[in-house]
Amino acid sequence: MADRMKLGILMPLGDIGGDPATVKAFAEAAEEQGFDDLAAPDHVLGVNVENRPDWGARNTSKDMFHDPFVLFGYLSGITKSIGFSTQVLILAQRQTVLVAKQAASLDVLCGGRFRLGVGVGWNEVEFVGLNENFHNRGRRSEEQVHVMQQLWAAPHVKFEGRWHRIDDAGINPLPVHRRVPVWYGGHQDVTLKRIAKFGDGWMPNSYRPDDGARQVFDTLRSYIEQEGRDPAGVGLECWVSMGEGSEADWREEVRGWKALGVERLCLTTTFGRNHHRRIAGRTMADHLGAMKRYKEAVADLL
């Protein structure tokens, strides 16, 4: 576990909007308050719910998502120290080599401050619109990460796989450290096994800091050891929220995660699923005030 627990924040673009002045102000405020990371979610297409009355509360075309590479590329020239992470990029709906190139370019431009969080996604409409196969996305994503890690490490790559063929070619620039950290989202057992093989970390959002989390963390660590890797080299980042409870409750949660060996937390002020609750307000002032209040409440525990 790291000497100091790091605290990031998920950018609440759905509430505050995405114009340049707004995202700049939010990023600068987060950096000034001492947050370690800015996180951004990812969706390319949103459905028209007028033609899908049974769609439910999932993301639609009314929800605004900046492309995370473009967003972080813009913010990398404004900020100085805060990190960037996708939470999470839907890897299997994108061309692998292009993502490797985008991630490497961003990593260079921000001075190695980028972590690539990846997931398999749930929205088949996006996969169809991007001309990718929804039904083999998990298996294909394993090979994608393997390909990207090779492209980041060497100037030229020869690769012949089930879904990829690279004939002695490479990307330029290469990442600062010849590797972009790949962190996984998702909660299935197969995800834990993929992390054990290829991952630098895991970003779960469904757990509380209790025995259930302890058991699944132990399972992950056993899979990592089976792959001949050191569990200490694979990080954990859990989501926290502040839509209910008091400062004392938030502090107790932080203590619980720290006791379980979690090295990073990501504060979300808008996520409202599982045990998480969003804040009541939706304005920029509401979100800036909330993140300041949370940071001040837990700063001495980090």
Average pLDDT over residues 99-117: 98
Closest C-alpha among 29, 35, 32, 31 to residue 264: 35
Q: Give tens-digit pLDDT for 155-192.
A: 999 999 999 999 999 999 999 999 999 999 999 999 99
Q: Whole-prediction pTM value? A: 0.96
Cα–Cα distances in angstroms (integers) from residue 232 to residues 63, 169, 187, 263, in the given order: 37, 33, 20, 10
Residue 238: what pLDDT?
A: 98
Burial of 113-151, coded b for 16+ CB within 10 Å and e otherwise, reads bbbbbbbbbebeebbeeeebebeebbbbbbbbbbbbbbb
Confidence label for 1 from pLDDT (cuts 50, 70 and 90): very low
pLDDT surpassing 80 at residue 3: no
Tokens (6 digits) for 102: 């985008």
pLDDT surpassing 90 at residue 200: yes
Please give the Cα distance from 125 to 52 (Å, whole number). Answer: 12
Spell out the domain ranges in the chain: 1-18+25-37+200-302, 42-86+88-184
Closest C-alpha among 109, 40, 103 to residue 74: 109
Mean pLDDT of the chain: 96
Q: Are 182 and 149 in contact (CB under 8 A)?
A: yes
Pairing mode, strands 157-160 and 165-169? antiparallel
* From the candidate CATH numbers 3.30.465.10, 3.20.20.30, 3.90.1150.10, 3.20.20.140, the one assigned to the domain spanning 42-86+88-184: 3.20.20.30
1-18+25-37+200-302 maps to which CATH number?
3.30.750
Residue with tokens 């937390």: 265
Q: Give tens-digit pLDDT for 207-247.
A: 999 999 999 999 999 999 999 999 999 999 999 999 999 99
Residue 292: what pLDDT?
A: 98
Residue 165: what pLDDT?
A: 98
Q: Give tens-digit pLDDT for 36-73.
A: 999 999 999 999 999 998 998 889 999 999 999 999 99
pLDDT surpassing 70 at residue 2: no
pLDDT surpassing 50 at residue 275: yes
Q: Residue 14: count other Cβ atoms within 10 Å of its Cβ.
A: 15
Which residues neighbour 130 within 8 Å (Cβ) at sequence distance 6 or greater? 44, 45, 93, 94
Please give the Cα distance from 224 to 220 (Å, whole number). Answer: 6
Please give the Cα distance from 216 to 222 (Å, whole number). Answer: 10
Residue 57: what pLDDT?
A: 82
Residue 77: what pLDDT?
A: 96
